[in-house]
Chain A
Amino acid sequence: MDENKTTPNKGKEDNSSKIGRRDVLKGLATLPILGAFAYGVYKKKNFDRIANNTLRQAVDLSAESPVVFQTQQKDPHIRVGIIGYGIRGPQLLKAAGFAMPSELDKWKESSLKNPSDHRLEDFRAQEDLNISITAVCDLFDVNAERALSAAANIGRDGSDGNFVQTAKRYKTYQELLSSGEVDAVIIATPDHWHTDISIAAAQKGIHVYVEKGMTRTVEEAFRLREAVKNSKIVFQLGHQGRQTESHMKAREAMEKNIIGKVGLIEVCTNRNSPNGAWVYDIHPEGTPETIDWNQFEFPCETKHPFSPERFFRWRCWWDYGTGLGGDLLTHEFDAINQIMSLGIPYSAFSSGGVYFYKDKEAGHYVNEVRNVPDVWQVALEYPTRDLTLLYSASLASNKDRGKMIMGHDGYMELSDALTIYADRESTRYKEKIEAKIIKPELPIYTYIPGRSTVDAITSPTEKYFASRGLLYTYRGGKRVDTTHLHIKEWIDCIRESIAQDKIIHPSCNIDQGFEEAITAHMATISYLENRKVFWDADKESVV
């Protein structure tokens, strides 16, 4: 460096007479390129800005995160019971802030091997809801013990942590609800138990968070709605999709009529694994001694002999579950109901079958083939809204088809992100398309959660990354679990209800739940009875 510094000085002294016009010209020869560059960048930015502004006038949607209900109330402390701790139960308790130490050990080990595994970090960063788990109930001893270990893990530790047992195990839900130890209860049992437990809780004034499908039958949906309406509880149904920002944004877009009159909506489910098809592992310790089989079968009209296969894979039989209708159609329907307030359809027609999971050799079943279909499609008609909602599902193919809302002026693709395109033949955008301000092959609006600005000019790389979930899976800059937000909303509403002395309803309340349940049941009845099923809105009955 020193040498370099001295060289020019020397040069000046020695060759001052030699730095002539030629030297200056050669030294500065390339600078005009910078002028051209600046001009180009200016023109390009201007072009982008005008395109964005024109589009923003056409599509008046902000990039801001939607406002969600939040309360300042952090008190009182709420005592929560958990009924059902199989697969969904642990996920819900984790979202509430309680996970099994053994689980945290696994996350810890995994994060050491793979630094991009943030499960442990995210769980520990999850907001403390000021609740404790005071009661657990599961018909399988192993699950009940696991639930107790999660409840005691108040410090969010691994196996080497300090645990304080706050919970007691109850053998029946009745004992749990009568214990006087719970203010609120999370119900993650099989579907055939949802109604009885929820009603019993409502009658005791215990707040309810219940998983979908809300009820197993139409009759149960009516009974549950009545019980909740006659109570003072805060009821939340487990459609955590309600917390997805892109859904809220899509509702805003629908309210602003951005895609025009909607005629067709397509939603779907695609899974391709035994787990996804509810062919869960059968726990080796599941015996008549460790499972309360009689209680499990209590609501069933026809009783069955003890079957670990039925106990652990209950979703495969209509006796306990609600099939693709209650389990997965409901998520999709609820998302569209959230966006468009569709309500219960005028009619439902469905078809499908057990087409894949019937190969004993391949491990699809042990003793008994399922009777719940693995390929299933539903057409829901809304003549008063002039539209059809199509749902189709395969549990034997992973091809993801996304959610699509198709209107005359444009269409919307929904995932974690929301993308809106104009239709080539749109009336609303005709002039702008002719003026080439709107290009039908490019989105007119893209909402990516966590991004601060809205841009028509989304770079292709950003779009690709976002669509693969590699970007912006955050809310307010933080990665969040929608199930956590959904439980938090329920807890917030309970506190707010206490503070205001009136019921503050969360986003997926009993009315939304009723619409979800009836819709799913209509579709299921259509399949089981092989006919089109109608909803008589005046008489409120399924015919």
Chain B
Amino acid sequence: MFKEKSASLLPCRGYSNGQLSMLVILRLAIGWHFLYEGISKILNPNWSSIGFLLDSKGLFSGMFHSLAANPDVVHSIDFLNAWGLAAIGLGLITGLLTQIATIAGMVLLAFYYLSHPPLITSEYAIPSEGSYLWVNKNLIEFFALWVLFLFPSGNRIGLDRFIFNRKK
């Protein structure tokens, strides 16, 4: 028991090369996705979250609609979302403050999922490239980040290696 617990505190020690490689590759892929989502919004002067917020359905739609009702709030959300996505992406790719970036990414994905849950009754204006019921790619990416949080790799392959030096 004790051994297992201490292993989970220092999880990066026990990965095989294959495991570590795949964790890093998964982290890079998600990081790339976040960074490009962020950059493409930052570079597009017409981008706004308002349509997405207004299109919200499900249990929390009231909250998202009320956010969309205030132009100042929408403006802040646009800024936080676009730069947040980019920062999280950079964090995941470079392995800098990886755990914080991972949690932040999960928070954003949770918002996306809760605002557009793929319910039986929901039809969205936003076009979807696949077919989803309850589970969609936001949810899967959310769980993937959760896995990355529990199996951190930034302090092995990434800038965190310089910051969070392992204690012997």
Question: A-side interface residues toward B, CB under 8 Å?
Answer: 4, 7-8, 10-11, 15, 19, 23, 26-31, 33-34, 37, 41, 45, 114-116, 118, 451-453, 455, 459-462, 464-466, 468, 470-471
Q: Which residues from B are CB-within-8-Å of A45?
A: 43
A450 → B minimal CB distance (Å): 9
Closest 6 pairs (CB-CB, A-B): A11-B165, A465-B51, A115-B69, A27-B161, A115-B66, A116-B69
A493 → B minimal CB distance (Å): 32
Partner of A41, one of B36, B45, B159: B36
Does the CB pair B164–A7 fall under 8 Å?
yes
Q: Which residues from B are CB-within-8-Å of A29?
A: 24, 157-158
CA separation between A11 and B165, bound complex, in Å? 6
B95 → A minimal CB distance (Å): 6
Q: Which residues from A are CB-within-8-Å of B52?
A: 461, 465
Does the CB pair A37–B93 fall under 8 Å?
yes
Q: Which residues from A are CB-within-8-Å of B36?
A: 37, 41
Partner of A26, one of B35, B51, B94, B161: B161
CA separation between A7 and B161, bound complex, in Å? 11
Chain B at the A interface: mostly helix, strand, loop or mixed?
A: helix
User: Assuming A30-B95, A37-B32, is B157 touching A464 (CB within 8 A)?
Assistant: no
Does the CB pair B65–A451 fall under 8 Å?
no
Partner of A23, one of B39, B43, B51, B161: B161
Q: Which residues from B are CB-within-8-Å of A453?
A: 45-46
Question: B-side interface residues toward A, CB under 8 Å?
Answer: 24, 28, 31-32, 35-36, 39, 43-48, 50-52, 54-55, 65-66, 68-70, 90, 93-95, 125-127, 156-159, 161-165, 167
Q: Which residues from B are CB-within-8-Å of A452?
A: 45-46
Q: Which residues from A are CB-within-8-Å of B66?
A: 115-116
Q: Which residues from A are CB-within-8-Å of B31?
A: 33
Q: Which residues from A are CB-within-8-Å of B54?
A: 116, 465, 470
CA separation between A471 and B51, bound complex, in Å? 6
A324 → B minimal CB distance (Å): 30
CA separation between A465 and B32, bound complex, in Å? 26
Does the CB pair A30–B163 fall under 8 Å?
no
CA separation between A4 and B50, bound complex, in Å? 39
Q: Which residues from A are CB-within-8-Å of B43?
A: 45
Does the CB pair B157–A461 fall under 8 Å?
no
30 sample A-B contacts, Cβ–Cβ < 8 Å, listed by A number? A4-B164, A7-B163, A7-B165, A11-B165, A19-B162, A23-B161, A27-B95, A27-B158, A27-B159, A28-B159, A30-B24, A30-B158, A31-B94, A33-B31, A34-B90, A34-B93, A37-B36, A41-B39, A116-B65, A118-B69, A453-B46, A461-B52, A462-B51, A464-B51, A464-B127, A465-B51, A465-B125, A468-B125, A470-B125, A471-B48
A120 → B minimal CB distance (Å): 12
Measured CB to CB, the nearest residue on chain B to A477 is: B71
User: Assuming A26-B156, A28-B159, A37-B36, is B165 touching A8 (CB within 8 A)?
Assistant: yes
User: Assuming A116-B69, A461-B127, A464-B127, is B157 touching A470 (CB within 8 A)?
Assistant: no
Partner of A461, one of B24, B28, B126, B165: B126
CA separation between A115 and B54, bound complex, in Å? 11
Q: Which residues from B are CB-within-8-Å of A465?
A: 51-52, 54-55, 125-126
Partner of B162, one of A27, A114, A451, A462: A27
CA separation between A30 and B20, bound complex, in Å? 13
B156 → A minimal CB distance (Å): 6
CA separation between A19 and B127, bound complex, in Å? 50
Q: Which residues from A are CB-within-8-Å of B51?
A: 461-462, 464-466, 470-471
Q: Which residues from A are CB-within-8-Å of B93?
A: 30, 33-34, 37
Q: Which residues from B are CB-within-8-Å of A10?
A: 165
Residue among A29, A114, A460 with max Cβ neighbours from chain B (10 Å):
A29
- Apart from A26-B157, A37-B35, A466-B51: 10 A-B pairs, beta carbons within 8 A: A7-B165, A15-B165, A27-B158, A27-B162, A30-B94, A30-B95, A37-B36, A41-B39, A115-B66, A465-B55
Does the CB pair B94–A4 fall under 8 Å?
no
CA separation between A34 and B36, bound complex, in Å? 11
CA separation between A181 and B94, bound complex, in Å? 76
Q: Which residues from A are CB-within-8-Å of B163?
A: 4, 7-8
CA separation between A114 and B61, bound complex, in Å? 12
Q: Which residues from B are CB-within-8-Å of A34?
A: 90, 93-94
Q: Which residues from B are CB-within-8-Å of A468?
A: 125
A334 → B minimal CB distance (Å): 30
Does the CB pair B157–A471 fall under 8 Å?
no
CA separation between A4 and B51, bound complex, in Å? 41
A287 → B minimal CB distance (Å): 44
CA separation between A471 and B43, bound complex, in Å? 19
A41 → B minimal CB distance (Å): 6
Measured CB to CB, the nearest residue on chain B to A463 is: B127
Partner of A455, one of B39, B46, B127, B165: B46
CA separation between A33 and B51, bound complex, in Å? 32
A456 → B minimal CB distance (Å): 13
Does the CB pair B68–A451 fall under 8 Å?
no
Measured CB to CB, the nearest residue on chain A to B32 is: A37
CA separation between A486 and B155, bound complex, in Å? 65
Does the CB pair B55–A470 fall under 8 Å?
yes
Measured CB to CB, the nearest residue on chain A to B70 is: A115
Q: Which residues from A are CB-within-8-Å of B55?
A: 465, 470
B12 → A minimal CB distance (Å): 11
B147 → A minimal CB distance (Å): 18
Does the CB pair B127–A471 fall under 8 Å?
no
User: Assuming A461-B51, A461-B126, A471-B50, is B165 touching A33 (CB within 8 A)?
Assistant: no
CA separation between A28 and B159, bound complex, in Å? 6
Measured CB to CB, the nearest residue on chain B to A450 is: B46
B125 → A minimal CB distance (Å): 5
CA separation between A190 and B61, bound complex, in Å? 43
Measured CB to CB, the nearest residue on chain A to B48 is: A471
Q: Which residues from B are CB-within-8-Å of A41?
A: 36, 39
Q: Which residues from B are CB-within-8-Å of A116?
A: 54, 65-66, 68-69
